[in-house]
Amino acid sequence: MSRILYKYLDIVGAKCMIGNKNLQFTNASQLNDPFDCHPKLIDYSNIPQKRLQGWIPENWWIEKEENDALNLRNDTWLCSLSKVKDSLLMWSHYCYNHRGVCIGLDMDKVMECVPPMFGTIYLEPLVIDVQYKDIIERPNAYHSIFDRLSYQWGTKSRDWEYEQEVRLVIPNPNPTYAAFTPQQAEQDKKYPNKIWDWREVRHYMPLGNDCFESIYFGVNIELSEKEKIIQYVRKKLNPQIKLYQMGVDENAFRLRPIFVH
């Protein structure tokens, strides 16, 4: 059975994703949690003895490893998805107070769409289920590189657990897939001499029509926007896509999806 993950978006972001048929990746340093992917999550103090047998001091090794981890963070782009489609907080925070949509993606189909050389280190994104912790455990940087990267890229505070996040992570994505957001493109036209920080630039992975499994419309979505999206996806995206209207459950503080057609 295919794994379905969800992307919460405001109406502008939703129309861009549906119209362009792509998935946006954001630099790890540009996320809304300052702890996200931070090198201080890892312990670099347990330096292997073989590295200390030469003339290079211990402090130098620690500083070097932390700097390498910081550079890795700055060179990593990721896409945040969720396991759930009915989170009240997610609908409020990411969908402009329930006026946006939540898009269900068939992850088997998504991974089939990864273009050649989307990443220059890994050919396709790593899929990491985010783990939520009460304390920073700081694993040993020299024990296992996979454990270290999984912890740095996929560990967040327990405060974020409601998001039930799954991340697609791509270090050093190919610049071919970099592009401005519509807002950035407008700024670039207005200020043609503006120097952009490369970390502000998103990368976009193309998707096939059948990647879009379902769309959930927010409780407060404008009817005209809803109808535009329905007409577009039925005619130009995927006529088999499932469409739902989120409603308020009368008996509990939760949302209830209602099948549209």
The domain tally of the chain equals 1
Report how far residue 224's alpha carbon sits from residue 228's, in angstroms, rounded to the nearest whole number. 6
Whether this model's pTM surpasses 0.85 = yes
pLDDT value for 145: 78
Residue with tokens 């931070």: 38
Q: Note the pLDDT tens digit of each residue in 8-48.
A: 999 999 999 999 999 999 999 999 999 999 988 888 888 77
Q: Which domain, by its residues, includes 160?
A: 4-259
pLDDT tens-digit readout, 84-97: 999 999 999 999 99
* Mean pLDDT by groups of 10 residues along the chain of 261 residues: 90 95 96 90 80 72 86 94 96 94 97 88 86 87 81 93 96 92 90 91 95 96 95 92 94 92 71
**Token pair recorded at residue 115:** 């273009």
